[in-house]
């Protein structure tokens, strides 16, 4: 079998965006492609802080939108920020109805955390750092009980079929090391919800599956990619040698934890008036500079949080203990790690990509909400808002919902998975040359090396998806000759008076790469 046609809407991915879209589409039949067992391998389940929403009576969506625009450093689309922040409250209420056990106050309100660059404590949470895991648990249980959703576990998408500029199918293969030749699945509509690109970097907080594959496959099909250069580095990944690096949530700094170096000195106070609660990019560069100078930065929660870290932040405490760090008595070693991709597949207000028949939501999409620097905890919010919008837009083009038979994907033959040594090289290059502090020479070198990696295994679509996204990030970073938000160029440290979003196709990025590629 090489192709199968179905009346189901095909959703690529199984994180928050995918699950929420599938539930919105119900009873329209859906086929969800999940590389792992549903719930595993998605960033969504690892989210610690929570979801940003103006739930407190003293807070407003307008203030939330204003903070979002300010954090984004001049390239947030203000109308997108206003609309998304306006919708936030109803999604929190919906998640609550679906069974998410958000922390509540005695009078029935929501317990709110304060995170960097928010003017108000505005992040709903679950048991300190369990928000993502609990939201996913609630949605997965609901999806499992929803007969219209077929979940195809152990499979991934490797490419899109495009006919006359319209996306007509998704190539699907098995996700293990031994991969069968892909089968073309042609659905009623196609929604990409495959997450971001953090795992393209060696030092990252993202799960191993999240390596820009889905952005890359859309780019290879010809879709426009926006803001590719804007990659957010989380300042406080726990530097314990694990890959991926566990996260010490920003809420810890919101509660008063401080950053110190090996001499026990605070260093953020002289870099920004908000010190540890400065915008993420500024804290990330502060940490990076300390690491580069050998000062071994650390997060000190001892005085502000003390023994309560064990019960209030169980995921952080467990990661520390795994590495022999006692967070009650010792500072937690930290490093800046690739965390969130503001850029992605350019979509309109309905989640439509530039190719007909293709919708995208979640971190793989670039909506204009985040600009050059995502405001903390706006990632899950954006996934919720655009999952529902994309699903609604897809439904508008379908007839009445009717049950559809289950899709049987019978793969045959075999193809190679990406070579591990090539993926490791790619990730090292991204961290070393396209990381927290960039410059033209390194970016050109990165493009040349990405080219060599791509052509070391030319028939591997999964690798090409990764190198496509890496090429777009490096080419867009080279093209942006200024520093803005998370994109910092040591050779262009100034910020231009006006900021614009970048839009590029893979063909544009390949043209730039060709100038530096060495055979
Ligand atoms: C450690 C950590 C903490 C975070 N904390 C927060 C927070 O507190 N608040 C917040 O707002 N945001 C947070 N974020 C960001 C947020 O979690 C993500 O932006 C959000 O979960 C993205 O949701 P998604 O559905 O787009 O992608 P994901 O949840 O990453 O799901 C992507 C899905 O696509 C699948 N996939 C990947 N490639 C393929 C392929 N080729 N074919 C098929 N499927 C594929 C994956 O297996 C996965 O199921 C955090 C991120 C991390 C890593």
Condensed to tens digits (0 to 9), the pLDDT of residues 181-190 reads 899 999 999 9
| Dihedral sign (CA 294, 297, 303, 307) | negative
Q: Compute the distance from residue 132 Cα to the ligand 1 centre, in Å.
A: 10
* DSSP codes joined into one string, 46-114: G--S-EE---STT--HHHHHHHHHHHTTT---HHHHHHHHHHHHHHHHHHHHTT----B-TTS-B-EE-
Q: Which of 47, 68, 158, 391 to mutate to test the pocket of ligand 1 (most atoms within 8 A of CB)?
A: 47
Q: What is the pLDDT of residue 519?
A: 52
Three-state DSSP class for residue 334: strand
Three-state DSSP class for residue 195: coil
Q: How many residues does the chain have?
A: 519
**Contact between residue 363 and residue 254 where contact means Cβ atoms under 8 Å apart:** no
Residue 5 DSSP one-character state:
E
Residue 304: how many other CB atoms lie within 10 Å: 16
Chain-centroid distance of CA 440 in Å reads: 26
Q: What is the pLDDT of residue 350?
A: 98
Hey, what are 471's tokens?
Answer: 């090429």
Q: What is the pLDDT of residue 66?
A: 98
Q: Which of 10, 22, 31, 44 to mutate to test the pocket of ligand 1 (most atoms within 8 A of CB)?
A: 44
Three-state DSSP class for residue 176: coil
Identify the CA nearest to 235 among candidates 193, 295, 279. 279
Three-state DSSP class for residue 12: strand
Q: What is the pLDDT of residue 299?
A: 98
Q: What is the pLDDT of residue 250?
A: 86
C-alpha–C-alpha distance, residues 347 and 349, integer Å: 7
Residue 347: how many other CB atoms lie within 10 Å: 26
Q: What is the pLDDT of residue 23?
A: 98
Ligand 1 atom index nearest CA of 362? 26
**Contact between residue 96 and residue 32 where contact means Cβ atoms under 8 Å apart:** no
Q: What is the pLDDT of residue 411?
A: 75
Q: Compute the distance from residue 263 Cα to the ligand 1 centre, in Å.
A: 36
User: Which residues are CB-neighbours of 39 under 8 A, at least 6 positions away?
Assistant: 14, 45, 136, 137, 140
**Contact between residue 189 and residue 10 where contact means Cβ atoms under 8 Å apart:** yes
**Contact between residue 402 and residue 395 where contact means Cβ atoms under 8 Å apart:** no
Q: Compute the distance from residue 69 Cα to the ligand 1 centre, in Å.
A: 23
User: Which residues are CB-neighbours of 3 under 8 A, at least 6 positions away?
Assistant: 169, 183, 184, 185, 186
Task: Considering the candidates 209, 280, 388, 389, report the single residue annotated as catalytic.
Answer: 280
Q: What is the reported pTM?
A: 0.97
C-alpha–C-alpha distance, residues 176 and 287, integer Å: 36
Q: What is the pLDDT of residue 367?
A: 98
Q: Which long-range contacts (CB under 8 A, 24 or more apart) does 286-290 make?
A: 286/235, 286/259, 287/235, 287/236, 287/259, 287/334, 287/335, 287/336, 288/233, 288/335, 288/336, 288/435, 288/436, 288/437, 290/261
The question of whether 280 is a catalytic residue gets the answer: yes
C-alpha–C-alpha distance, residues 307 and 293, integer Å: 31
Nearest CA to ligand 1 atom 5: 47
* Terminal-to-terminal C-alpha distance of the chain: 38
**Contact between residue 329 and residue 303 where contact means Cβ atoms under 8 Å apart:** no
Q: Compute the distance from residue 265 Cα to the ligand 1 centre, in Å.
A: 35
Give the CA distances from residue 425 to residues 185, 202, 212, 456, 492, in Å, rounded to whole numbers and listed in that order: 32, 9, 15, 12, 27
C-alpha–C-alpha distance, residues 50 and 96, integer Å: 13
* DSSP codes joined into one string, 240-298: SS-SSPPB--THHHHTT-EEE-TTS-B-STTT-TTGGGS-HHHHHHHHHHHHHTT---E
pLDDT per residue as tens, the chain (519 positions): 589 999 999 999 999 999 999 999 999 999 999 999 998 999 999 998 899 999 999 999 999 999 999 999 999 999 999 999 999 999 999 999 999 999 999 999 999 998 888 999 999 999 888 999 999 999 999 999 999 999 999 999 999 999 999 999 999 998 876 667 899 999 999 999 999 999 999 999 999 999 999 999 999 999 999 999 999 999 999 999 999 999 998 889 989 999 999 999 999 999 999 999 888 899 999 999 999 999 999 999 999 999 999 999 999 999 999 999 999 999 999 999 999 999 999 999 999 999 999 999 999 999 999 999 999 999 999 999 999 999 999 999 999 999 999 999 887 777 888 999 999 999 999 999 999 999 999 999 999 999 999 999 999 999 999 999 999 999 999 999 999 999 999 999 999 999 999 999 999 999 999 999 865
C-alpha–C-alpha distance, residues 12 and 152, integer Å: 10
Nearest CA to ligand 1 atom 22: 363
Condensed to tens digits (0 to 9), the pLDDT of residues 100-123 reads 999 999 999 999 998 888 999 999
- On the CB side of 122, CA atoms within 13 Å amount to 28
C-alpha–C-alpha distance, residues 54 and 514, integer Å: 47
Residue 59: how many other CB atoms lie within 10 Å: 17
**Contact between residue 131 and residue 50 where contact means Cβ atoms under 8 Å apart:** yes
Nearest CA to ligand 1 atom 6: 47
Q: What is the pLDDT of residue 1?
A: 59
Nearest CA to ligand 1 atom 2: 47
């Amino acid at each position: 079998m090489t192709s199968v046609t179905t009346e189901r809407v095909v959703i690529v991915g199984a994180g928050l965006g995918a699950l929420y879209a599938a539930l919105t589409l119900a009873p329209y039949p859906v086929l969800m492609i999940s590389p792992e067992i549903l719930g595993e391998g998605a960033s969504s389940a690892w989210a610690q802080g929570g979801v940003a929403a103006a739930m407190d009576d003293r807070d407003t969506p307008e203030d939330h939108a204003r903070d979002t625009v300010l954090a984004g450093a001049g390239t947030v689309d203000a109308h997108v920020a206003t609309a998304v922040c306006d919708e936030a409250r109803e999604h929190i209420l919906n998640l609550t109805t679906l069974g998410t056990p958000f922390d509540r106050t005695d009078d029935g309100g929501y317990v709110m955390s304060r995170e960097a660059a928010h003017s108000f404590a505005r992040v709903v949470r679950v048991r300190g750092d369990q928000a993502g895991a609990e939201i996913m648990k609630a949605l997965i249980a609901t999806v499992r009980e929803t007969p219209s959703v077929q979940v195809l576990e152990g499979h991934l998408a490797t490419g899109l079929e495009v006919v006359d500029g319209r996306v007509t199918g998704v190539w699907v293969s098995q996700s293990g090391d031994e991969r069968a030749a892909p089968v073309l699945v042609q659905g009623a509509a196609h929604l990409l919800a495959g997450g971001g690109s953090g795992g393209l970097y060696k030092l990252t907080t993202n799960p191993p599956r999240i390596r820009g594959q889905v952005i890359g496959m859309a780019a290879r099909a010809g879709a426009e990619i926006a803001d590719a250069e804007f990659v957010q580095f989380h300042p406080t990944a726990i530097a314990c040698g694990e890959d991926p690096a566990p996260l010490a949530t920003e809420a810890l700094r919101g509660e008063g934890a401080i950053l110190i170096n090996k001499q026990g000195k605070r260093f953020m106070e002289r870099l920004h008036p908000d010190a540890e609660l400065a915008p993420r990019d500024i804290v990330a560069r502060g940490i990076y500079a300390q690491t580069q100078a050998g000062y071994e930065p650390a997060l000190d929660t001892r005085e502000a949080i003390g023994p309560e870290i064990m019960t209030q932040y169980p995921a952080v405490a467990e990661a520390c203990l795994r590495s022999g760090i006692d967070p009650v008595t010792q500072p937690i070693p930290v490093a800046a790690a690739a965390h969130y991709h503001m850029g992605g597949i350019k979509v309109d207000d309905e989640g439509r990509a530039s190719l007909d028949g293709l919708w995208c939501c979640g971190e793989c999409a670039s909506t204009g909400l985040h600009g050059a620097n995502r405001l903390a905890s706006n990632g899950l919010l954006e996934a919720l808002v655009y999952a529902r919008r994309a699903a609604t837009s897809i439904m508008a083009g379908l007839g009445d919902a009717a049950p559809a038979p289950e899709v049987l994907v019978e793969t045959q033959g075999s193809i190679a998975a990406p070579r591990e040594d090539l993926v490791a090289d790619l990730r090292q290059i991204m961290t070393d040359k396209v990381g927290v502090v960039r410059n033209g020479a390194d970016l050109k070198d990165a493009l040349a090396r990405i080219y060599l990696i791509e052509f070391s295994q030319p028939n591997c679509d999964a690798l090409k998806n990764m190198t496509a996204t890496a090429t777009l990030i490096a080419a867009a970073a080279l093209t942006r000759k200024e520093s803005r938000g998370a994109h910092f160029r040591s050779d262009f440290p100034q910020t231009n008076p006006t900021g614009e979003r970048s839009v590029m196709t893979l063909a544009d990025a390949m043209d730039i790469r060709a100038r530096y590629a060495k055979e």
